[in-house]
Amino acid sequence: AQSVTQLDSQVPVFEEAPVELRCNYSSSVSVYLFWYVQYPNQGLQLLLKYLSGSTLVKGINGFEAEFNKSQTSFHLRKPSVHISDTAEYFCAVTQIQGAQKLVFGQGTRLTINP
């Protein structure tokens, strides 16, 4: 079984400041890793994913994440945030073999202050 822990439930930052949203996971098998974003009153959409290869993956809207196998982490970063980045962010994992069921973290609410 897999589990995901997002270490911060809320992260307030000022516009144009950098941000890091932290995600740790636990799994007895190899997994793929994802970050999804949910804007207010909408469904989720994919920001980025790690399948294999380079541990630094780039996504949409200037976000990137780094996979660290030894620390079982997949932290999301953006060097300079914008008001439009205000949303809830979810880290998720799925096992590589078998049914592609996503296991989500609890979510981190990112609030950008002007």
Partner 1 sequence: NAGVTQTPKFQVLKTGQSMTLQCAQDMNHNSMYWYRQDPGMGLRLIYYSASEGTTDKGEVPNGYNVSRLNKREFSLRLESAAPSQTSVYFCASSEARVAGNEQYFGPGTRLTVT
Binding mask 1-20 for partner 1 (x = CB under 8 A): ---x-x--x-----------
**What is the rounded radius of gyration, in angstroms, for the C-alpha atoms of the chain?**
14
Smaller CB separation from partner 1, 15 or 72: 72
Query: Which range, of 19-27, 39-47, 60-68, 72-80, touches partner 1 by CB under 8 A?
Result: 39-47
d(CA 1, CA 91): 16
CA proximity to 105, closest of 74, 65, 59, 81:
74
Q: How far apart are CA 32 and CA 38, in angstroms?
A: 20
Scan for tokens 């880290």, then name that residue: 91
| Nearest approach, Cβ of residue 94 and partner 1 (Å) | 8
Looking at the Cβ atoms of 85 and 89, the one nearer to partner 1 is 89
Length of the chain: 114
Footprint on this chain of partner 1 (rule: CB under 8 A): 4, 6, 9, 32, 34, 36, 42-46, 49, 51, 90, 94, 96-97, 99-107
